[in-house]
Amino acid sequence: MVRRHPLPPQWLFSDERLAVGVVRLAALLPPGSGIVLRHDRLSAGARWRLFRRLMRMARARGLLILLAGSPAMARRWGADGVHLRQHDARRAVQARRLGLLVTMPVHDAREARAARRAKADAVFISPLHPTRSHLGAKALGTAEWSRLARLAGGQPTALGGMTLTRARALTRRMSGLKPGWAAIDAWEKKAARRGVKAASLFGSERVENSDVP
């Protein structure tokens, strides 16, 4: 598959529990970063409006934006790619036909093999470290993370308790791999250091009404 975009070295995962709105966090990302928009609990209209707001910022700042969901919706909304959950792995063929980048989550060997079969462009392997996103889950550790990365194929990206410092340490320990990293909390902490105030999605990030395409 020929990629339309280079894969970002760092990513922001959206999450409903964010204290700082995802649009505000996206403004802190370095150019060339990626965003995976989840927010599945929003209504279709509210999710579309949030996506459109993020898309404007992504285009202005050179960011890549992927939509978690179906390839058809990702294509219709104008996303650069689709983040497929494991139960939707079979849709990777449709996504490639639509010219979309494909990413998938990986937590164990079974999911790593599924991502390889789907020929995912990038895999988010987690949790490398303890994290609020996987409360109670055992951290993979570097050795197991590396094993899953090689098993899954695609661009390996670390998720779970990641920071820039930890990402650099992981890169130094990998042989033959150039892992990316993704985070939720790390970007929120960066916002706090810069004095970005918390805001609900429907507070300062409210956008105008619009029909879902």
Is 36 domain-assigned? yes
Question: Model confidence over 55-95: pLDDT tens digits?
Answer: 999 999 999 999 999 999 999 999 999 999 999 999 999 99
User: Residue 190 has what pLDDT?
Assistant: 84
Is 204 domain-assigned? no
Encoded amino acid at 150, one letter: R
- Collapsing DSSP to helix, strand or coil, 128 comes out as coil
What residues have CB less than 8 Å from 129, skipping those under 6 apart? Answer: 139, 160, 161, 162, 166
- Asked if 150 contacts 4 with a C-beta cutoff of 8 angstroms, the reply is no
Is 189 domain-assigned? yes
- Collapsing DSSP to helix, strand or coil, 162 comes out as coil
Domain, as residue range, for 77: 10-193
pLDDT over 50 at 197, yes or no: yes
> How many domains does the structure of the chain reveal?
1
Encoded amino acid at 124, one letter: F
Is 20 domain-assigned? yes
Is 206 domain-assigned? no
* CATH number, domain with residue 78: 3.20.20.70
Is 205 domain-assigned? no
